Amino acid sequence: MNQLALVTGATSGIGRAFAERLAADGYDLIVTGRREDRLAEFAAAHPEVKVRTVAADLSTDDGVATVAALCAAEPLTMLVNNAGVAHYMPLAQLPADKAAELVHVKVAAPTMLTRAAVAGMQERGAGRIVNVAGMIAFSGPADSSVMPRRAVYAGSLAYLVALSQTLSAELEGTGVGVQVLCPGVVATEFHERQGLDLSAVPRMSAADVVTASLRGFELGEVVTAPGVEDAGLLDAVFRADLAAFGGQGPELASRYR
């Protein structure tokens, strides 16, 4: 039986690059996204593998339920939670519907799709889950000079980091691998759709991001940061996290007395 991958947000950018790479590696695919025309175009361009297209809007409960049902029913080898929206703006200026859309797409959808897929992967003793986040997940301590402000977006990506790290520990020894993929600025349509012109900013290709992800699994990484040369920087962040977690006690800290 061929390997089977489900990729969300597969109509452009990193999702499209994942689908292209996995098709080239012989995976059968379930590709999802909002734009039916692009899904159909991708399927037509890859007759060498089986491609099932599913138009679904992951900002809606119905869209999440549709794709989650596939994750539960199909023998997935890989799940790539890539779908995303940005809505870069300060929280007070972020319309309620856009805040809800962002949380639904980047928090609720990856959670529910992963939940649906992971039980079957455990039963089969194999599987890989990729949650596409970004280096903005680590930008929380930045001061007000760092623009644009994007509290909800940064928070949603930080959630994916914590989810992936904790889930990886839960699944240790099951044969199921979990990765959170944290690229920096990537040359895709993503920022253009937010009205941001980053044409003058050096950007990584989506294909390189996918290469890093697949190599990251080989290296046993849970957090894969394609543009960070010194992996020790990430290790230092995680050691500090654990030190703070382990440094707590039942007594009120002296600075609060």
Instruction: Report pLDDT digits (tens) over 44-91.
Output: 999 999 999 999 999 999 999 999 999 999 999 999 999 998 788 889
Q: What stretch of H or E contains 131?
A: strand 127-132
Q: What letter would DSSP give residue 23?
A: H
Instruction: Report pLDDT digits (tens) over 182-192.
Output: 999 887 655 55
Strands laid side by side in the 28-33 sheet: 51-55, 28-33, 4-7, 78-81, 127-132, 176-181, 223-224
Per the residue annotation, which of 88, 153, 159, 256 is the catalytic one?
Answer: 153
Instruction: Report pLDDT digits (tens) over 190-220.
Output: 555 555 656 666 779 999 999 999 999 999 9
Q: What is the pTM of this model?
A: 0.93
Instruction: Report pLDDT digits (tens) over 220-241.
Output: 999 999 999 999 999 999 999 9
88 assigned to active site: no
The pLDDT of residue 30: 98
Instruction: Give me 255's structure tokens.
Output: 């600075």
The pLDDT of residue 201: 64
Bridge partners of residue 5, in order along the sequence: 29, 78
Tokens 């977006």 appear where?
153
The pLDDT of residue 113: 98
Instruction: Report pLDDT digits (tens) over 21-41.
Output: 999 999 999 999 999 999 999
Local structure of 38: helix, strand or coil: helix
